[in-house]
Structures are given as structure tokens and as C-alpha cells.
Structure 1
Amino acid sequence: MISSERALILAPSGGDGTEISEQLKHAGWAAETFDTIEPLIEALRKGAGVALLADETLHGDNLQPLLEWVANQPSWSDFPFVVLSRRDEAGPTALDSGLETRLGNVMLLERPFHPQALSNAVANALRGRRRQYEARRYLDDLRESEQSLQTALLAGRMGSWELNIAEQVLHGTEQFKACYGRTAEEKFLYPDLIAAIAPSDAKRVERALHDSINTGADLVIEYRVIWPNGQEHWLDSRARVLPDRYGRPETIVGVVSDITARRNAEAEREKLMLALATERERTQQALRGERALSGLLLTSVPAGIVAYDGDFRVTIWNPVMERIFGMPSPAVLGRPLTDVFSKEQRDIIEPRLRDALAGVSGPIEEIELTTLAAGQVMLESQHAPLRGGDGQIVGGAAFFRDVTDRHRAEEQLRHAQKMETIGQLTGGVAHDFNNLLAAVQGNLELLAKRLPDDPQFRRFIDGALQGAQRGAALTARLLAFARRQELKPEPTDLAQLLEGMRALMERSLGTIVTIRYALAPGLPPARVDPNQLELAILNLAVNARDAMPEGGELTISLNQVDGSESGIGLSGPFLRLGVADSGTGMDAATLKSAIEPFFSTKELGKGTGLGLSMVHGLAVQLDGALKLISAPGEGTTAELWLPVSTAPVMEISEMEPERSAAPASTILVVDDDALINMNTVDMVEDLGHTALEAYSGKQALEILGSDRQVDVLITDYAMPGMTGVELAGKARQLRPGLPILLATGYADLPSGTSTDLPRLAKPYQQADLATQIARLLAHRE
């Protein structure tokens, strides 16, 4: 992990800094813990992505070095802080004293917090930090462009300047100051510039500047200035008013050159004919230099530039315009610019061209055009008038920049962020729902044992249990979409798997659908979970049947391909399992949303909208992909790209069934949810065991540290302060060899969690619990 991505933790000695650091390392981030400000600041100077500050460390004068570091950040930097406060602390927190404003980019996280909440807070902060690094890169690129422009200006002996209109703040280059007789080290403010103008030209310059600000017209003016040594010089100043985002004049940017020699030569024209001829040649050379500079700028800037006269005829068409529009310069010069565009596009462009000829500089806008070279592209454009030496409008100019790739990248990013957010939300909901189902299902089982043997009571109980089991199936699909279901990948012969499903497919699809198989021979095995894959194939087949209400043909194909042929970033050998129907097909909008959870084109009550999302989640979790190909009236093909296994198919041997009964023992049950804990304790005691209850890892360790008998530990995974995996590690330090069972509402543990503990997925039945307890006790014996 690079230093700019690491997390820094400031917590008092003996606090929970070490625990937070371990949680972050389990989540895959580098983390360092400090108990004082000074080493934290030194680490910040070396580079970091986020700092987590315990609230109790943010008091006193020792924070001044940290506040100074925050204040001295570069302009691109807004370093993120996560302040860890305690919900039960009395009195004001450090942030109540205005510290949040001085720190700047602050997120508050109350303790105790769930490990996922901490992981999400750090992930969000790091994403923001990466965007800041990207902004720094853009600023560096801009700085290089500005340096190139300054080089060009120096070649033309021109000085550039910029004036903030509201604040009257002036900035100028060394050459700009030289035009006013000042050195680079001298301070030169806007009042100094006004005072330097010759009194006879002051009102004319003031009026021209006022007109440019009010009308937006370009400033083109020649005037005299008095240098500090008393010399009089002529300057040529040209500038443009730039508006703010609301269209109000904000800044004037321009260039200035010393034209004293030219003006003196013109004044001596009648007296010095020879000098006039020499000056004319010098002026022509200067003009050739200006044209060469203009040509350099036109060919080097990364934007399309086109200029046109009062009849819209093209006079300049730079190489970038040739590349964007696919039309060479000779084919365009002299033609009306409106001829380049189609009729629909002409209606968009022509009003902007007319505005430029009327003296109106348009804002930067985005337009979508169809060009010969690139087809449909998104362009940034801006239009402005062109003025002659007398200030009169002689034509217009337009600037075009191709931002198609940027738009596509932004759209892909938005889609990826949306799917990531939906997946996180879906996984969290399924986890909580599994916990609820565990309590419902467990209590129903215990209730069924205690009710009289009445058929009506039994029917009610069975109906409720079936509902809970259907809810568990629904959460399994949700977890499949969120890519959190527990998979057991193994080398699998897909051709044999499909043959084994043939009868099931025929019964499920009915007689109106003809099933055709196209399976390539001699294929290697795939590394998949065969049970989950069978459900996915059945889902795809049922979807295909519903798309063919009048009947049709379903083709199931299987062949080996290279991942690079997928077009979606896969590499290496894959097996492509296709399910193609001859049904109605999907339009582009439907196809785009097809894998989103709960999206369905079926009638209300005809489906959950989780079929394709479950298949997509399964494929991604197997390091493969789901690819959908469809068009209205042309049917739909769903392709599952599954990785080839490097190991052969394993032979399955019969195993002796394990005992489900176990001798009476003492079992410690740990779960932060009181409802789940109570239900599990009831089921354990109903099995004839003695149950001990704990509602946190800390309570469980207190029991294990005592002399009380504990034969088995059953613990939830997701608990505040200490996860079940962390509790298991500490429990075995106290009691080596203690059998431990991990129960979780997630079908798979979060990324980065490694454990060999046996797991029991919620919701579970009493029989499943009894079997696991029996296995643990048997292995202990």
C-alpha cells in the first residue's frame, strides 16, 4: 500500500487505536497508530490518505501544530479527518468549540461503531483524497500549458496581464512590467498602471476599458505611458473580458507590447524616407513573426479553432477541426461554416454564429453532433466576435473541444457507483433480514414442539415455516446480487451438469418450448459451485420461457473461448455457457437495467426482479461475467463466462453420516442481538444442553476467563467492538482446543476476513444447529 493511501490513527495510549488499526488492516488498508500529535504530523508530511482522531485527543494547545499543518496545505489539498466521538460522553465535544471549521474536511463517527461503518467512512475519505490527487495532476498539466504559452509570448515580445475587475487586483509578467519601465522585482499595482498613462490618453483609455467591461467587446487600444525616468513610450494593449459562471464580468486578460519604435518611425515618415523604408521592412518582419506565432498557437492548442467572416465563410480551420469533423482544410476554407453541419445541427449552431457577429461572446456550452470522422460526439464549444484594428467586428471565431471520452467515463463511473451502492445496501438488508428470519424460524420450531398435536395448529406452523423459508430464499438472491453468498467452487464438468439437468429443464419449460443443445466436445472443467450454477441456469431458462409466451426454441450452448473476446475486461481461458431464446427481445433501455435488483418487465406478482441480478452476482463472484445480447424481435442471449479450472474433476466418495445427537454439554452463546441470542439459547436448551448467554465479545471473554465449564462456543460474526473471528482468536488463547461455531447473517464474510472456523448461516433450523454441535463435540473427543 503506498504511503498516500494509508490511514493514520490518533488515540490516547491504552485506548482503542490498536483495535481500529486491526479492523482497517482486515479491510485491506495500511494503518499506523499514534498517541501524540507530533509523530502524527510527521507522518502527514510523508503522505497519507485519511486521519482518524479520537475525540479525547482534540483538546488543549497541543493541537496548534496540527491546525498549522492544515492551514498550510497546498491549494489542491483538503485532507480528510474522521473524528471518533463517544455517544455516552457528557458535556461538549472538541468539535463543539469550532474545531470542525478549522480542520475543514471532517466526518464524525460515533463510537461504538460497526466495523462496516468504519470501513465505509475510510473508503469514502480515500475516494475523496484520490480525487484531490487527480485535481493536483490537472493543475500540474495546466501549469505546463501556461509555461508553454509564456514561452510563445516571450518569442513575440509581448507581456501578459490579468485584472480582477471587482477587487482591482493586477497581475503581470516580467515583460508586461518592462513595457511600463519597471523591473521584475518592482511592485506594480493597478493604481500605478493608471498613473503611468500619459494625461492626454488617460480618459480615452478609461472609456475604452469601461466599454469593454459593459459590452463584453474586446479591448484594442494604443496609448502612451510615462516611464519613471521620464521617457514616453507607446503601448499596444489587447484584452478580453471573461465572465463568471453567472455571466457577470469578472476578469480582464490581455497582452501588451511596446510599439514606441513603430510610432516614432511613423512620426518621422515625411522627414526620413530611408528610415521609413527600413521601418516598413522591420514592421513586415514583425508581422511575419506574429503570423508564425498565430500559426503555432493554432496548431499546438488541444482544441478545434475555426474563424469566419461576416458571411459565415471559413477563413481558419485548424488541424484539430480536421480531426474532429473529418474534413480537410482545403475542403472547408471559403465555404459557409453552416454547410459543415446537418440541418438539425445548423439550427443549433447558426444562432451562436449570429450572436458572435453581433458582438456577443457566448458561454462555454456542450453540444452533441454527428461528424464524418467519429460519428456521434460530445463537444464543448464557445463563440466570440473577431475585431479589426479599428475595433469593428470583421467576423467571428468558434472553439470546439472533444469531450466524448470524458462523458463516457463519467457515465461509466456513475453506473459503477450506483451498482456498488445498491450492492452494499442489498447486502446489509439481507444480513438484517436473515437475523430476523433466524428468530422467527427458530421460535416456530420450538413452538411446534410444545403445541398439542392438532392438525390445524400443525398447518398454521407449517405455513409460517414455509413463509420463513421463502424469505430465506429471497435473501439468498439478494446476497447473490451483492456477491456475498457463500460459494463452494470446485472443478465441474459443465457438459455433464447440463445433461443431468435435461429432465428438469423439460419439466420446467413445458412442451411449447423446444430445447436444443450445442455442446462442444472435450471441454476442460470449470471452477464453479455446481448447485448455485444449476439455479442460475434454471433462472435463465425460465426467463427465456416467459419471453416466448406462444412457444419457441431455447438453445443451450457451451464452448471454450479466450476472455479477451468478451469485450468486458476478462483474460485467460473461459467456458462460455449460452442460453438463447427466440422470444420478444429487449430494447436498449430495458437491457441496460436488466441486472438491477427488483427490475422486472413482468406483471405484478409474476416475479421478484432478482433472477438476472442473482445470476450476475454469481458470475462476478466466480471471477467470471454475465453478458446479455438482445434486440426487439430478435430474442435474447444470456452468456455466462466461467473460468476454466486448473484442477481435474474430483471423484465423489460416499461418506458416513455424522451423528446429529450429542451428550449434554455447556454451550456459551454470544450475539449482540438479544432476540437472536434468546432464540438460540432456547434451541440449545431444548436439545438438552446447558446454555450460557453473552451479548458482546467482552462479556464472553469474562466468562471464558473464569472457572466456569464451557464445552462449545457459538458466536455471531458482526458485533460492535469485536467480531466473532476476533473473539475466537482470543478465546483460544484462554482455552486452547475450544470448539467454536461461527453464526452469521452474511452468507460470506467481508473481504479480507480469513478463518477456518465452521460456519452456520442464518436463518438455521434446530436440526442444523444440533448437527453442528454434535460435530464439534465429536471432534473434541
Structure 2
Amino acid sequence: MTSRAMPPLAALLGGVLDALTGPGVLLDRTGMVVATNRTAAAGMMFERPIAEILGSLATLDADATALALAGIHAVLDDVQRAFSLEFAVQVDRPQRWELRVTGIPADVGGGAVVHVAAMSIADTDGVTERRHDTSFRSIFSASLDAMVIADARGKVISSNPAARRLLGRNEPGVTAMDFAQFFSAGGRTTSAADAWQKLMLDGQWRGEGRLVVGDSVRVLDVAASAHITPGRHLVTIRDVTESQQMEAQLRQAQKMEAIGLLTGGMAHDFNNLLTVVLANADLVLESLPPEMEELRDEVGQMIQAATRGSEMVKKLLAFSRRESLERRPVSLEVVLAETQALLTRLLPSNISVQTDAAPELPGILADPGAVQHMLLNLATNARDAMTAGGVLTMRGAFEPAMELPDGSIGPMVTVTVEDTGRGMDDEVLAHLFEPFFTTKAPGEGTGLGMAMIYGLVQQHEGTISVRSVLGSGTTVTIGLPLAEVTVPNATPRSSLLIREGATETILLVEDEEMVRRAGRRILEKHGYRVLQASDGAEALTVLRERGKEIALVVSDVVMPRMGGRELYASLREEGFTMPFLFTSGYTDRMSSDTVALDPSVPVLPKPWTWTELTASVRSALDEGFTPV
């Protein structure tokens, strides 16, 4: 800008400004000095003649000029009320000034101007300033958070060691980098330009950034403060990638737990309904003569449909961790070999099945049927993902140091199922374990396979992780605990024996009337005398009145007023010694609870069929026991 002679208007305004005690000037929108007072011109501000000062901001450096103009525009446009800036003026001796632009817009010669007042912040001996600078530098260098200092254009001019570690750089001076780099990856809601603009206007800004480091994207908490020194801005960056991942995992675990509770309750109700259907269908089938072949076939289809429903309920219970397991020491190598033999027959010929088990693999504490069920479900998913054929690989390995479900580190055996199919995107992965979630066409899948696997893994006190890339296949890794203790096996249904010609009296305790009625009819058809109670309290009354007649108590677990566990405890306390048989849709939870009361108490899972009910009753009567 060029100097020009003082116009009369400037002289008039200068006279007004002379009334001020401190140095002051008037600037227009372009930054031209249109008036100044004598204090400013006499050396306290610019140390130059007034005629040389007017129409010039030459005393400011380029960065300070840009910031001053931005502040002038913000005040004149009523964006902010005031603007502060520190700058250095080099005259006979170095001196620093604080410039405060206050919003007094006025029409002067057809243009708007602002009043600029200045105050010297010179520290003649420099001791205080050096002390403050040393303290800041110490904090800056020692901070565990990444910190950088940027200039007026956002270019990084200084960084602390934490910032260099975050950025993957070792050199103290970070070059060719600016504020925008902390927003270099997608997925953010705020752009670097927007964040910088807000920082310049408000003096502070905080939000989320994304930084590409190598082949990964780090999520950043970015906080910035403007003008910590003249034209210098402090940016603090904290890497929150791991904490966000942990929060997401916690939310997912809480969601899955809530879904599991809801699913378990639904499954229990379905078990009662299916018990009624299966029991009554068995009764109808038993009553039909052989010559009514067509009707017997229709009833048989009804039983098959109810049995399929029972299998679905088992999957729901497995997801909610309420289906009983028979965990015992198992060789994963044997399970893999048996599963491979099955899959070779079940999968299409264009899919190759390979297994790879590490030598001397430790045994696992698991239910072998459940482990094979998980592998078969994963193989089915892999088959559907490899419509054009591919390779399915099942691997067994020993991992000496894995993160266990309780957060500690310990050994596990892992089984990995890998396919070369079409893979999944992040959206599908986010919902993978939710019940009834499926990407298959209607009628082609129930959406319970992965939910069942998730529940079985939880019951095994194991871990599960899924890695998938769209177009490149999926890898599922399940961690299972090592076999360190022996778990007693439950009696499988297939081993129960049936005997006819019964005459004993049985007390049947069940709150669901339809289930109770179906059970009574089946037992009576086998010759038993049946007494009934709708809950534990009513059953105790019957026992006190007719206990000498009763040979066996068959009781549901969850009932109003008094449940099956409370009934069993009261029965023992009052000295009754007849056998006891539990029936429940919550078989896993019941097994652990009844063992705590008496290890001899058998449990009949719901839904039961005619054969299973009568076989369990006969077995309990024949074996008998005395409560301990």
C-alpha cells in the first residue's frame, strides 16, 4: 500500500482519537489506516510519522495482516463483537503489541471502519516471557497426547514426540503437513476446512478426525485452540480408535445379552406349546387303527412339523445359552475328521473340503455334538457363499496366549473355518449373530444358524471372531477351552428305556393346563394313577395329604407362587423320599441348579414326546433315590 497526504477527514478523526489515553487507529474494510491519534504516531505504537502510517499496514507481517483483515471483516459483518491479535513490530528495538479490534462500525467517507486500540505487552527484561515459554515447552514435550502447533494457514510448524509417534515419524520437525491431514480419511462429519473456519471464528474447536497411518485408519479426538501465541494455534490429538472399538464391543455384547434374554423367554413358551402339540399328536396316532393309513400319515406330518419346531427352539436356546450341553474332554482332530467325512458327502462336488490340525493338539472341554453342529452350520453358510465352487478349510491350532472371555490371557485351542466365497460387507457383519437375521431369500434360511453358534460358543466359555472381505471370502475363528477337568455326562434321550404295565401313583405338577392335561392322559394310558397340581404350593398340600400313595413327583420348574426348585427343597426338608423328576424348557440352567440341590435329580427337557415322558418316568421310578 502507498502513503498519501492526510485528508481533512482523517485529521478530524485523528483529533477525536486524540481524546483516547492509549494509542488507537481507524481501519477500513481493506485494512487501510484512515486515521490515527498522536499517541500512536508519537512512538507508542508505530514510531512513524502520521503521514507515513495512513493507508498502510506495512508494519505487520504477512500472517498478522491476514489475521487482522479476517478479524476486521468479522466485526464489520457482525459475525463477532471483537478480535484480538498479538504481533511484533520491529523498530529500534523489538516490541510486541496486542491488537484488539472492537466493533464500532461507522460510515466514514462512504465506507465502514473499525476502531483499533493497542496495548504494549513488552516484557523489558524478558524473564517472565522466557519462564512461561520454558514451562509451555516442557508440557508440550512431555504430553502423552499428540500436540502440534500450526501457523495461520494450518501448516504444522512444530510437533511433540507423541505426535511424531502417532504420525509414524521420528524426525523432530514435521514438514509438508497441515491441519487437514488429521481429516485425511473418510467417515467424518466435519471437513478440515469447516473445522479450521470454526477455530478461527470461535477461538476453539473440538471434534472427530480420521488419520491414515500405514494401511489402517485411526479415529482421532481433535481439540484446537487459536492464538496461543500470535498467529500460532495449538492442536491436541488423541487416538481413540481402541476405546471406540471397546465401546462398540460392549454395546454389541449388551445388545446380544438383551436379545438372548428375550429369545430364551420366547423359546420357553414355544416349548410348552410344542409339548402340547407333540403329546396330543402322539395320543391321536396311538388311537388310530393301522387301516386308517392316510390319517395316520397326516398326524405323522404334524409330529414331524412339531419336531422341526423343536429343533428351531433348540437353536434359540443355544443362542440364549439355555440349552444343555454334555461337555467332556474331546479330541478336536477326531471332530474335524468326522466332520470332513460328513461334508464330503453333503457338499457339492465343486467344493473341496480340507482339514489341517496341528500335531499333538491338546484336548478341548466341549460337547462334541455341539462343536460338530457349529462346523456344519459354518460349512452350510460357506456352501451358499461359494455357488461357483471353491475351497472350504477347517484348521485346528493351539494358541498359548489368547484373550479369554474374562479379559485375561491364557491358552486355548482354536478351530478356524475359512471359505473362498463372496464374503460380507461391514453392514452384514454388524448384524451377523442376531437371531432371524439372514441375507438369504425368503424361505431359504431361518437366520438362526449364526445365532446358535454364538450361543454355543458362549456356553463353552469360548470366543468367536469373524473376518470377511467382500469378494474375498470369510474366516470364522472359534476359541475353545482346554480340557482340564472331567464333566459328568447327562443321560441322552436315546438311552431311555420304555416299560409298559405301570401301576404307580404320580404327582404331576405343571402350571400350563394344556401341558398338564396332555401329560396326565399319556401317563394314564400307560396305567399310572395321576394326581395333579398347578404349582409347588398346591403340590405340597397334596403331598401332605396323600404322600404315602405317591411314588414319583414330576414337576415343572418355573411356576407361580412356588416353583419346582422350591418344591423339591421343601419336599426334602419335610422328609419325603420319593423320586423326583424335573421337566423344563431351560435345560442348561436347570441342570446346574438341580445338581446344586441333589446330583441324582434327572431332568426331562421340553418339548417331550409320549415316548420320552413315559421312558423318563419309568427310569426315575426304577432307579429311585433317597435325597441327600
Could you give the per-residue CA deviations for residues 730-755 of structure 1, whole angstroms, max 9, x where no partner exists?
11222432211110011311697334
| Corresponding residue of 1:775 | 619
- SS at 1:714 equivalent: strand
Match for residue 681 of structure 1? 520
2:316 aligned with 1:474: no
Partners of 1:535 and 1:326 in 2: CA distance: 46
CA distance in 1, matches of 2:152, 2:354: 68
CA shift, 1:613, in A, is 2.6
Change (3 A) 1:706 1:308: same
- Which sits farther off after the overlay, 499-508 or 604-613? 499-508
Q: Distance in 1 between the 2:561 and 2:159 partners?
A: 66
Q: Of residues 241, 246, 263 in structure 2, which corresponds to 1:409?
A: 246
Q: Give the aligned partner of residue 511 of structure 2.
A: 672
Instruction: Spell out, residue by residue over 1:688-738, the C-alpha distance to the aligned partner (whole angstroms, 9 max, x if none).
Output: 222222122111112222245221111111123433122111112224322
1:225-624 correspondence to structure 2 within 5 Å: 280-281=124-125, 284-299=126-141, 303-312=145-154, 314=156, 317-327=159-169, 330-332=172-174, 337-338=178-179, 348-357=191-200, 359-371=201-213, 376-386=217-227, 394=231, 396-451=233-288, 453=290, 454-501=292-339, 503-520=341-358, 522-562=360-400, 564=402, 572-624=410-462
Contact in 2 for aligned 1:481/1:617 (Cα 8 Å): yes
Change (3 A) 1:570 1:459: farther
Q: Does the 8 Å CA contact 1:216/1:361 hold for their aligned counterparts? A: no
Q: Residue deviations 1:417-455, cap 9 Å, x none? A: 122122222222111111111111112222333445522
SS at 1:742's partner residue? Answer: strand
Instruction: Give the helix-richer structure, 1 or 2.
Output: 1
TM-aligned CA distance change 1:318 to 1:562, over 3 Å: closer
Query: d(CA) in 1 for partners of 2:486 and 2:228?
Result: 78
Question: SS of 1:549's equivalent?
Answer: coil
After superposing the two structures, state which structure 1 stretch, 725-734 or 336-345, moved more.
336-345
Evaluate the alpha carbon distance shift between residue 520 and residue 400 of structure 1 in structure 2; reply closer, same or farther with a 3 A threshold: closer
Give the counterpart of 1:760 among 587, 596, 604.
Answer: 604
8 Å contact kept, 1:318–1:329: no
Q: Rate the CA distance shift 1:422–1:344 in 2: closer, same or farther, 3 A.
A: closer
How far, CA to CA, are the matches of 1:555 and 1:361 in structure 2?
Answer: 58
How far does the alpha carbon of each residue in 1:540-574 deviate from its partner, in whole angstroms, 9 at most, with x for none? Answer: 33333222223334334444443529999685554
Q: Is the 8 A contact 2:340 2:355 kept in 1?
A: no
The structure-2 alpha-carbon separation of the partners of 1:297 and 1:558, relative to structure 1 and needing over 3 Å to count, comes to: closer
| Superimposed CA distance per residue, residues 217-245 of structure 1 (whole angstroms, 9 cap, x where no aligned partner) | 58999xxxxxxxxxxxxxxx9xxxxxxxx
Structure 1 pair 728–311 and aligned structure 2 pair: CA distance change class (3 A): closer
CA distance in 1 between partners of 2:487 and 2:228 (Å): 79
Query: Match of 1:504, as an amino acid?
Result: L
Structure 1 residue 700 and structure 2 residue 542: aligned?
A: no
Please tell me whether residue 731 in structure 1 is matched to residue 574 in structure 2: no
| CA distance in 1 between partners of 2:277 and 2:414 (Å) | 41
Say which SS state the counterpart of residue 597 (structure 1) adopts: coil
Deviations 1:183-232 (A, max 9, x none): xxxxxxxxxxxxxxxxxxxxxxxxxxxxxxx94758999xxxxxxxxxxx
* Cα-Cα RMSD: 4.2
AA aligned opposite 1:675: M
Alpha-carbon contact 2:418-2:474 (below 8 Å) kept: yes
* Alignment correspondent of 1:719: 559
Letter in 2 for 1:583: G
Partners of 1:514 and 1:344 lie apart in 2 by: 39
TM-score (norm 2): 0.70
Distance 1:606 1:702, change over 3 A: same
Indicate conservation of the 8 Å contact 2:149/2:235, yes or no.
yes
- Whether contact under 8 Å (2:465, 2:477) holds in the other structure is yes
Instruction: Give the letter for the 2:136 counterpart.
Output: S
Cα distance in 2 for partners of 1:326, 1:495 equals 43
Contact 1:218–1:387, Cα closer than 8 Å, also in 2: no
**In 1, are the aligned partners of 2:180 and 2:193 still within 8 Å (CA)?**
no
Query: Compared with structure 1, are the counterparts of its residues 217 and 290 closer, same or farther at alpha carbon in structure 2 (3 Å cutoff)?
Result: farther
Q: 1:773 and 1:750, CA in 2 relative to 1: closer, same or farther beyond 3 A?
A: closer
Distance change in 2, residues 1:339/1:779 (3 Å): closer
Counterpart contact for 1:670–1:677, Cα < 8 Å: yes
Aligned residue-pair number: 510
- Structure 1 unaligned regions, length at least 5: 1-213, 222-236, 238-261, 267-278
Name the CA distance, whole Å, in 2 between partners of 1:501 and 1:317: 57
Aligned-pair CA distance for 1:336: 7.6
| Residue 676 (structure 1) shift | 2.0
Contact 2:591 2:603 in 1 (8 A): no
Q: Structure 1 775/294 Cα, relative in aligned 2: closer, same or farther at 3 Å?
A: same
Structure 2 vs 1, CA of residues 440 and 415 (structure 1 numbering), >3 Å: closer, same or farther? same
